[in-house]
C-alpha cells in the first residue's frame, strides 16, 4: 500500500469496524426485539443529544394525484432530506472544517423536475443497478426481456425502476441512530423481472457522522437483484462548479473495461499504468483528458472498479473522497465487491439544480457500490441471482469528516 493511500484510508478503520458491527447489530436487534447481546455495545452508536424523530412535509404530487412526502432527518452533524419518490436523497448537508454546512448532493427543488429527469439524482436504484446488455438475460433456461432505456441496453431497472416508485417510509430513533425504513414490493413481472421482490432499505444517520444504507430483499421466484444509491456528490456544495479537484481513492487493482455501449467486455483489467489507477489517491481530473479509448467511450469515468477485498459479510473501507478546499471528505465502507464511479459526464448544462445553478459536465460524481454491471450475462462475475428462501443483504456506509 502506498503512503498516500494509507493516509487517506487509515485512521478510520476502528471507527468503521465499530459502526459496522456495533451499529448494525444493535439496529437489527432493536427492530426485532432481541436486543440483549447488543445492549452494552450499542451505546457507541446511540444518537447524538437532540436526535429527533424525522418529520415529513408534502413535496408535490405525481400526475395521478399521489402525494409525495419529503422527510427531514438529522443526527451526528448530518442533515438529510429524503423523498418518498424513489427514496431520493434530495439534500445532504455536512459541515466543512469551520463548521459551515453545504448541500453536497445534486438535486432539484420540485417534484416536476424529478419526474422529467433522467439523471437519477440521489435515487435508490433497482431492481438492477447499472446495465443489462440488450435488456436480456437467461435464468434457469428462461429468457427475460426488460425495457431498453439506454441505447440498446436496460439501465437502472428499466423505464420505471425503483427510482420512480413511491416507497412506504417509517421513521425511527434508536440506539443505532436516526433513520428511515423504506419499503417497496415489486410485482412479479414488473419491468420484465421474474418474482415478487419484497424490498426493505434502511437509511441511518449515526452519532459519528455516518450515513448507513442497509438493503434487504426476498423473492418468491428466482430473479436477479443489484440495489444501490445514485447520489452525485460535490463536496464543495452542489452548483459550486466541477469535482475535478476532488481527491479520490479506490482500493481496486482492477476494473471492468466497457464496449461502445458501456457494457463490460468481461475482462477484469489491471489499473496499473492507466488513468484508472486511483489506489494512491489523486484528483479526479488529473488523468481524465488522457487520450484513452476507455475514457473516450464513456466521455470520462463511467466504469465499475473491482474492489481488492471482494464481497464481504461486514462493510470494509474501500474508497475515499476529499475536497481539499473545504476540507469536506467522506470514506466509503461496503460489503459490495464493486463500485460504479461516474464522473457526471452526461450533465450538459440543461438542468438547473436545487440552488438555482446550472449543472454542467463534471459538476458532481457518483460512487455507486454494487455488483458488476451485466452480471446476469457474465458467468465469470459474482452472481446477482436471488432465489426463494434466500435474503439479499448488503450494506454501504458513507463516513463524513472535515
Ligand atoms: C451510469 C451512467 C449514467 C448515470 C446516470 C450511471 O450509473 O453508469 O452511464 O449516465 O448512471 O444515469
More confident position, 113 or 7? 113
**pLDDT per position as a tens digit, 135-158:** 999 999 999 999 999 999 999 999
pTM of the predicted protein model: 0.90
pLDDT value at 196 more than 50? yes
Separation between Cα atoms, residue 352 and residue 56, nearest integer Å: 25
Span 308-327, average pLDDT: 98
Starting from the edge strand earliest in sequence, which strands make up the sheet with 55-61, in order?
A: 55-61, 67-75, 78-83, 89-95, 101-103
Return the residue whose CA atom lies nearest to atom 12 of ligand 1. Answer: 119
Evaluate: CB of 346 within 6 angstroms of ligand 1.
Answer: yes
Span 306-332, average pLDDT: 98
Domains and CATH numbers, the chain: 3-401 (2.70.98.10)
Return the residue whose CA atom lies nearest to atom 10 of ligand 1. Answer: 346
pLDDT value at 2 more than 90? no
**pLDDT per position as a tens digit, 215-241:** 999 999 999 999 999 999 999 999 999
Q: How many whole angstroms from 156 Cα to the centroid of ligand 1?
A: 8
| Cis status of the peptide bond prior to 197, with omega within 30 of 0 | no
Evaluate: CB of 163 within 6 angstroms of ligand 1.
Answer: no
Separation between Cα atoms, residue 211 and residue 14, nearest integer Å: 16
Tracing cell 441496453 back to the chain, one arrives at 153
pLDDT value at 32 more than 50? no
Task: Point out which residues pair with 395 in neighbouring strands.
Answer: 214
Return the residue whose CA atom lies nearest to atom 5 of ligand 1. Answer: 119
> What confidence score (pLDDT) does residue 51 get?
83
Separation between Cα atoms, residue 41 and residue 18, nearest integer Å: 9
Q: How many whole angstroms from 232 Cα to the centroid of ligand 1?
A: 11
Evaluate: CB of 120 within 6 angstroms of ligand 1.
Answer: yes
Exposed/middle/buried for 309, CB within 10 Å: 0-12, 13-18, 19+? middle
Separation between Cα atoms, residue 200 and residue 272, nearest integer Å: 38
pLDDT value at 357 more than 90? yes
Return the residue whose CA atom lies nearest to atom 7 of ligand 1. Answer: 130
Which one from 230, 246, 303, 371 is the annotated catalytic residue? 230
Annotation says 230 is catalytic: yes
The percent of residues above 70 in pLDDT, for the chain, comes to 88
Evaluate: CB of 340 within 6 angstroms of ligand 1.
Answer: yes
Evaluate: CB of 130 within 6 angstroms of ligand 1.
Answer: yes
Annotation says 27 is catalytic: no
Atom of ligand 1 minimally distant from the CA of 373 = 8
Q: How many whole angstroms from 276 Cα to the centroid of ligand 1?
A: 17
Span 42-53, average pLDDT: 56
Could you give the 3-state DSSP secondary structure of residue 171? Answer: strand
Atom of ligand 1 minimally distant from the CA of 298 = 9
Span 182-210, average pLDDT: 98
Amino acid at each position: 500500500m502506498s503512503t498516500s493511500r494509507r493516509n487517506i484510508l487509515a485512521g478510520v478503520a476502528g471507527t468503521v469496524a465499530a459502526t459496522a458491527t456495533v451499529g448494525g447489530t444493535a439496529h437489527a436487534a432493536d427492530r426485532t426485539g432481541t436486543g440483549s447481546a447488543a445492549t452494552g455495545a450499542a451505546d457507541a452508536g446511540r444518537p447524538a443529544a437532540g436526535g429527533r424523530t424525522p418529520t415529513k412535509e408534502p413535496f408535490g404530487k405525481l400526475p395521478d394525484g399521489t402525494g409525495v412526502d419529503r422527510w427531514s432527518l438529522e443526527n451526528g452533524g448530518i442533515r438529510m432530506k429524503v423523498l418518498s419518490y424513489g427514496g431520493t436523497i434530495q439534500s445532504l448537508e455536512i459541515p466543512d472544517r469551520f463548521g459551515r454546512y453545504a448541500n453536497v448532493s445534486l438535486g432539484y427543488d420540485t417534484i416536476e423536475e424529478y419526474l422529467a429527469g433522467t439523471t437519477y439524482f440521489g435515487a435508490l436504484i433497482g431492481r438492477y443497478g447499472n446495465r443489462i446488455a440488450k435488456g436480456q438475460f437467461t435464468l434457469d433456461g428462461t429468457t427475460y426481456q426488460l425495457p431498453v432505456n439506454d441505447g440498446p441496453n436496460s439501465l437502472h431497472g428499466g423505464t420505471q425502476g425503483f427510482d420512480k416508485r413511491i416507497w412506504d417510509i417509517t421513521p425511527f430513533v434508536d440506539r443505532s441512530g436516526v433513520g428511515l425504513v423504506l419499503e417497496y414490493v415489486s410485482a412479479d413481472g414488473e419491468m420484465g423481472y421474474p418474482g415478487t421482490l419484497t424490498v426493505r432499505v434502511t437509511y441511518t444517520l449515526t452519532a459519528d457522522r455516518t450515513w448507513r444504507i442497509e438493503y434487504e430483499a426476498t423473492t418468491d421466484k428466482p430473479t436477479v437483484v443489484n440495489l444501490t444509491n445514485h447520489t452525485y456528490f460535490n463536496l464543495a456544495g452542489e452548483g459550486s462548479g466541477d469535482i475535478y479537484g476532488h481527491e479520490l481513492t479506490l482500493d481496486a487493482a482492477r476494473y471492468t473495461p466497457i464496449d461502445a455501449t458501456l457494457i463490460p467486455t468481461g475482462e477484469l483489467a489491471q489499473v496499473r499504468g492507466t488513468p484508472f489507477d486511483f489506489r494512491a489517491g489523486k484528483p479526479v481530473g488529473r488523468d481524465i483528458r488522457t487520450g484513452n479509448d476507455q475514457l473516450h467511450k464513456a466521455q470520462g469515468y463511467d466504469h465499475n472498479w473491482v474492489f481488492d477485498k471482494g464481497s464481504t459479510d461486514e462493510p470494509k473501507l474501500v474508497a475515499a473522497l476529499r475536497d481539499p478546499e473545504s476540507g469536506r471528505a467522506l470514506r466509503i465502507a461496503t460489503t459490495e465487491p464493486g463500485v460504479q464511479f461516474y464522473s457526471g459526464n452526461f450533465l450538459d448544462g440543461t438542468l438547473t439544480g436545487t440552488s438555482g445553478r446550472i449543472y454542467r459536465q463534471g459538476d458532481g460524481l457518483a460512487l455507486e457500490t454494487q455488483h458488476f454491471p451485466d452480471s446476469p450475462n457474465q458467468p465469470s462475475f459474482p452472481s446477482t441471482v436471488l432465489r426463494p428462501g434466500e435474503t439479499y443483504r448488503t450494506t454501504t456506509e458513507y463516513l463524513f469528516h472535515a
